[in-house]
Amino acid sequence: QVHLVQSGGGSVQAGGSLRVGCEASGVTQDYCMGWFRQAPGKQREAVFTSFIADGSTNYADSVKGRFTIPENYAWNTLTLYMNNLRPEDTAVYYCAALQTSPSRCRSLVSGSPLTEDATWGQGTQVTVSS
């Protein structure tokens, strides 16, 4: 059984940095791990995904160059470092684990809707003020 526990988040002014962490258990090599976010009144969107078996990492265009996961990260400790934060990054951030293909894992950050069953963390608020 997959279990995800999140940490971090908080409030910061625009241009600042925060991190959100996810401790995962029960995840196997055929899982896609990811960070999603949901702003008020908006759909949940993927900002980062990684297919564990091949270590590939994928970022949404909106966060590319600002958000990062350390290279060679441990799959059971997924920390998203968020730099140069903007007010539009304000959202509840969710860690997710789902069984899917590498190509589907990649496509999620391009706006492809999530159709697979996923296990979610409890959610962490990130607030960026201007």
For the segment 52-68, the average pLDDT, to the nearest whole number, is: 95
Contact 62, 35 (CB under 8 A): no
pLDDT for residue 74: 80
pLDDT for residue 75: 78
Q: Which sign, positive or negative, has the C-alpha torsion 74, 103, 97, 45?
A: positive
Write the pLDDT tens digit of every residue in 71-112.
777 878 999 999 999 999 999 999 999 999 999 999 999 988
